[in-house]
Chain A
Amino acid sequence: MNALVVAGVLIVLLGISYQTGWSKSRNLVTADGVKVHSRPQYHGSFTAIWAMIPALVILLLWAWFGGGITHNYTVSQIPQDILVSLDQAGLNGALIRINALASGYGVAGETAPWEQAAGDAVRSFNFLTFAGTLILAVVAGGAGLFYARSQINARLRARNSVERVVNVLLLACSAVAILTTVGIVASLVTEALRFFTFINPIDFFFGTVWAPNNAGGDNHGSYGLLPLLSGTLMITAIAMIVAVPVGLLSAIYLSQYAPKSFRAVAKPLIEILAGIPTIVFGFFALVTVGPFLRDFGNAIGLQISATSALTAGIVMGIMIIPFVSSLSDDIMNQVPRTLRDGAYGLGATQSETIRNVLLPAALPGIVGAFLLAVSRAIGETMIVVLAAGNAPILRGSPFEPVSTITVSIVNQLTGDTDFTGPQSLVGFALGLTLFVVTLCLNIFALYIVRRFREQYE
């Protein structure tokens, strides 16, 4: 309700201010025929920006500090004698009851008179502060509006001002993305460091046994990363062995050989593959691919478990085919036609042209597509939970059950977690490892692309 009112008021303010700037600007033109620097839309936007920014700043300030102020006020409404008798939990309970009364939801059980009184007081306080903030915001917005309106004249460079605001806005948006990344990494690092106060990093990074003692107590168990890392890398490698040839070749077929009509049907179909939830792939691995591989292994005299690195890897490979094929296809289509014509004109066959001209020219983009697929595979969890067998043991054979970093994170963080012992904190160390592995892959791919570029451009 309140949010709706705020949004409504802001929209009205936006409309009025834009309209004001726009119409004043229109009058400029008709009045004296001088050349106006900016078009009316820009004067409108200029006014709107001047009106919206003060209003938004006030609303944001209230959103930031309002909670604390209301909290203090609510506490002050609890009679002193009762307040001293309450411990922390009791206080929280009382506050919840008062707020419930204030918002009119009602509470279970009898209400004490002081509770009712405090609830009423808080309700009127809430209303007053809300209305006050809103009025303040509108007044500030109005002031901005009038200031901006007074500034409008033929020489005002509203177009440039709007451009600057747009710049700042874009910067702010990218800052959100960057800061989020930084924040996530920072929290991963600090929590991982806490983990390393329990477990020696050498035992973690080079340990070959993964056997956390989840029961708690003084014996934490062993947290060797290697079985998980090897499982992750093995499954990812199998997935790439499946996805890269199939994806790349199908991209080549789609972009170079297939008739338009076939392409129009096939491309969306392949992309649908990317839209299938991973749990469905996991299910498919568990009930179809796993048993098939086991029976196939029996037939040729190989011991293959139904749930194994192979099963998970193959199904994951199928899952990431569209990442490889769809992106590579787009990239190959962007290679200039003239380049291909050059090769054909020299008497190269189609496959020679593709191998010698098209693929080298598209390589940076294709490497990017592979990388996206690898990152997807390394971070994938659901398929591995269901199909890899969840056996965190260091082994070399892809035919046996393994476990991965992601699965272990899930195992350690589901259920009761208090983030005080290594049993749950290890999740952060594992997450950090995963992050570093993907980062290294990115850097490696960048390096490959650079080298290639230097050679050819």
Chain B
Amino acid sequence: MDMLAGKVKKTSLNVDSAMNPTDVLERPIRLTARDVTVHYGAKQALHGISIDIPDRAVTAFIGPSGCGKSTFLRCINRMNDTIEGAKVGGTIKLDGEDIYAPALDVVELRARIGMVFQKPNPFPKSIYDNVAYGPRIHGLARNKADLDEIVVSSLRKAGLFEEVKDRLQEPGTGLSGGQQQRLCIARAIAVGPEVILMDEPCSALDPIATAVIEELIDELRENYTIVIVTHSMQQAARVSQRTAFFHLGNLIEQGPTEDIFTNPVNKQTQDYIMGRIG
């Protein structure tokens, strides 16, 4: 109970940090997107998205279902490449480097920009192997002890280690939904990404597990650039420093979280936040 209280207290701190948006804006920009469009076959899902995503801060994407949040998120680590018929236009740069340049190594890009999916999707392997998968394929560990170290520290960072330390060899699919989601976060962290994209990471979780993950996001913010898609206004307000509002494939408004929630410029943003659309 004490532990939980601590968590809640900690997450409530985030609102304070969000109240100081100028901090975030002065940070270096990690990702810049300009006029990003996406077509699924003949259907256009995104109409020219331009946004800057700052380093070591949490940027939240909000908007009604089907407005293109996931689609844009998938553009950032080129996961749309795996969807047949998806065409991406415009430019996205990571540290000034065009990620859609023909010479770019997509596989390496995805190791630098990790992703946590809306639905927990652990591999049908042991908990250990789930986390060790990324380091193994990228050759991040020189020996077994190294790998153990990476696995343990990733599980620790994801707040899962204490719960699973005695059953690392048991299947990851046997964990509860919230544990699976944290396992997926650990799996993403283990690769040592610079940017972490999270697509509704708490949509399947209860309030306690959600609090754990929000606390985790808050800690990760110290070292990573984080983009999170969420349907929960409260969550966006709690964890993010910047918020972008999407509607029908357009980026309607973006700015410091504080401003978006207390003082939205656009009527649509206002309606959405007040719960009148979506």
Residues of A within 8 A of B (CB): 259-260, 336, 338-349, 352, 356-357, 360-361, 455-457
Contacts and interface: CB of A to CB of B under 8 A. Distances in A.
A345 B133 contact: no
A261 to B, nearest CB: 10
Contacts of B117: 338, 341-342, 345
A290 B114 CA distance: 56
B198 to A, nearest CB: 11
B82 A346 contact: no
B213 to A, nearest CB: 17
A456 B77 CA distance: 29
B188 A346 contact: yes
B137 A352 contact: yes
Interface string B108-143: 111110110101011111000000011001100000
A344 B84 contact: no
Given A340-B82, A361-B124, A456-B125, A345 B115 contact: yes
B82 A341 contact: yes
B107 interface: yes
B171 A346 contact: no
B127 to A, nearest CB: 12
Give the interface size class of chain B: 20 to 34
A346 B173 contact: no
A342 B107 CA distance: 13
Given A345-B77, A345-B115, A456-B173, A339 B121 contact: yes
A101 to B, nearest CB: 73
B212 interface: no
Interface in B90-117: 107-112, 114-115, 117
A356 B133 contact: yes
Contact of A357 (B108, B114, B123): B123
A218 to B, nearest CB: 63
A80 B127 CA distance: 89
Contact of A346 (B110, B119, B125, B174): B110
A345 B111 CA distance: 7
B254 to A, nearest CB: 25
26 contacts: A259-B84, A260-B84, A338-B117, A339-B123, A341-B82, A341-B115, A342-B117, A342-B122, A343-B123, A343-B133, A344-B79, A344-B82, A344-B110, A345-B79, A345-B114, A346-B137, A347-B110, A347-B111, A347-B112, A347-B137, A347-B191, A349-B107, A357-B123, A455-B171, A457-B124, A457-B173
A457 B110 contact: no
A457 B188 CA distance: 21
Given A260-B84, A346-B110, A349-B107, 15 more contacts: A339-B121, A341-B117, A341-B121, A344-B79, A345-B79, A346-B111, A346-B133, A346-B134, A347-B108, A347-B134, A348-B137, A357-B123, A360-B124, A361-B124, A455-B171
B121 A342 contact: yes
Contact of B107 (A260, A340, A348, A357): A348
B147 interface: no
Interface in B133-181: 133-134, 137-138, 171, 173-174
A5 B234 CA distance: 75
A169 to B, nearest CB: 38
B227 interface: no
B242 interface: no
Contacts of A361: 124
B182 to A, nearest CB: 14
B187 interface: yes
Central interface residue in A259, A342, A345, by most chain B CB within 10 Å: A345
Contact of B188 (A339, A341, A345, A352): A345
Contacts of B107: 347-349
Contacts of B174: 457
A455 B170 CA distance: 8
Contacts of B134: 346-347
B184 interface: yes
Contacts of A456: 124-125, 171, 173
A361 B122 CA distance: 12
Contacts of B82: 340-341, 344
A217 B230 CA distance: 88
B133 A457 contact: no
A307 to B, nearest CB: 46
A342 B137 CA distance: 13
A345 B110 contact: yes
Contacts of A343: 123, 133
Interface string B55-96: 000000000000000000000010100101000000000000
Closest 5 CB pairs of A and B: A347-B111, A345-B115, A347-B110, A456-B124, A338-B121
